[in-house]
Amino acid sequence: MQHVLVVSDIHGFPETVAELLDVAGAKQRMLQLADLSGRPGLRGDELHHHLFNGDGMRHAVRALREIDGRSCLGIGFSAGGTALWNAVKEGLGLQALVCVSSTRLRFETSPLNIPSMVFWGELDPYRPAEGWNKAVPRCWKTYAGKQHDFYRIDALTAKSPLRADIAAFIEGRFLSA
């Protein structure tokens, strides 16, 4: 059975994974980025500041590294994807990683040692250049006309291209019958 580990964005999205994925047989675990950062009461700009101007990202990465993810696929939304990426770099064992709108990844210079897929909104001003996509994650998709937070609707909308693409990545590589 495939396990899916989901890490939220700075706003706590998604709160649950009950309707997030259409992957049969996948056991899903939801982690809130604020909890991982050591500041469960923070949301939004305050959590963003704690993560990227304080020591919150270091705490989140440490907390993620304590998880046994060897049988898991990780999915992170925005800063949650950045936390997962950094945790993998520091030793978190995952089978694969999906990052949605994790724009801080633009500062990464080398690929992970696991399959990774990134998704971007075309209108997100902080997404990396296409050359970065070819060099670092190697699997990516940009959604035309979409902003940074497009996933807040698309991830919960049945049959949305984002949900279909995440499911195809998971099923094509990790949920063989």
The CATH number given to whatever domain includes residue 125 is: 3.40.50.1820
Residue 100 lies in a domain: yes
Residue 174: band (very low, low, confident or very high) from pLDDT cuts 50, 70, 90:
very low
What is the extent of the structural domain holding 17? Answer: 3-172
CA distance between the termini of the chain: 10
Q: How many CA atoms lie within 13 A of 36 on its CB side?
A: 30
Residue 24 lies in a domain: yes
Higher pLDDT, 19 or 111: 111
Residue 164: band (very low, low, confident or very high) from pLDDT cuts 50, 70, 90:
confident
**CA 94/CA 101 separation, integer angstroms:** 19
Residue 161 lies in a domain: yes
Q: How much is the average pLDDT of 152-167? A: 89
Residue 108 lies in a domain: yes
The pLDDT value recorded for residue 151 is: 95
Higher pLDDT, 17 or 64: 64
Q: Domain count for the chain, please give it.
A: 1
Summarised one tens digit per residue, pLDDT across range 40-72 is 999 999 999 999 999 999 999 999 999 988 888
Both tokens of 31, joined, read 């982690």
Both tokens of 120, joined, read 């971007």
Q: How much is the average pLDDT of 15-23? A: 64
Q: Which residue, 151, 143, 146, is CA-closest to 20?
A: 151
Residue 177 lies in a domain: no
Give me the phi and psi of 95, to 5 degrees please: -75, -35
